[in-house]
Amino acid sequence: MIGKTFLTIVYIIIFIVIIQETWKNDIDVFRTIKNYAKSKLPLATKFEEPKLTFKFDYIPQRISEGVEVYGIKWKEDYEEFRFYLSNTNNSSAISDVRIRLELPDGIVKSEVNQHSGSEGISFSQDNSPSGIYKNNKLVEVTKEYYNTLQINASKIFPKGFFEIRLLLKVLKTKGESLPGYIDVKYIYNNHEKETINKHIAHDILFKDNDKTKIYIDTSREIQNQEDRQHYFSMTFDEPLVLGNPEGKNKKLNNSKDTKE
């Protein structure tokens, strides 16, 4: 009995000392407990709206005509570019990414050069077979390159990116060139888990009036994408040579463009 009484007195003294120290040092017990819990629990990542960056890089090449690179035989009027796209935020992935490029020149080849944190990259182009017809029948196929390219990606994670190698057949002597254009659509979930559809577009312009180098004008976003006039063109691999009524051959310009 005496032992229990003694222990009770000891507990009371300890409790009184703790209260005195808390009062003396102005210790916030609840804040201390909260800070301890925060240090042990994983911190939630702050939501960031996806932000895309994209650009073209011109890659000068010193390749002799006829040398096979990238699975094709190089020609003097070929130029290499890299199209780069990145999801630069830290928390939000984007999905169902659809990119349409309209370039000033025909696309000889497109392929993924490198990628990280991106899935399901694929390509498609507007094209149709063409050539020389005789008596309403195709008798000779002509090789041509189209200026449009559709790039799709099923998902791009935070900090994910991809880089596309583009080989273009650049017309050195072209006159008034067609404007370039990039149209990007994708979806993401906001902080309330709602699905958001995003649509952005920019012009593609020539750099320093050099018609072999292009860049994306990110300083101005095109607001009325649906009202914008789209351009479709194709560039022939070799100038077409057709017979005229006098029996002489006539060499045609190796570019044909139309407006949609």
pLDDT digits (tens, 9 = 90+) for 22-74: 555 555 555 655 565 555 555 555 778 888 999 999 999 899 999 999 999 99
CA 237 to chain centroid, in Å, comes to 28
Is the model's pLDDT at 198 over the cut of 60?
A: yes
Instruction: Round to whole Å and give the CA distance between 196 and 189.
Output: 6
**Predicted confidence band at 249 (pLDDT cuts at 50, 70, 90)?**
very low
In whole angstroms, give the CA distance from residue 48 to residue 90.
7
pLDDT band for 174, please (50, 70, 90 cuts): low
Token representation of residue 61: 């090449």
Of 2-11, 35-44, 125-134, 169-178, give the lowest mean pLDDT range: 35-44
State CA 192 to chain mean position distance. Answer: 25
The reported pLDDT for the residue numbered 86 is 95
Instruction: Please tell me the predicted confidence (pLDDT) of residue 245.
Output: 42
pLDDT tens-digit readout, 74-115: 998 899 999 999 999 888 999 999 999 999 888 999 999 999
The average pLDDT across 16-21 equals 63
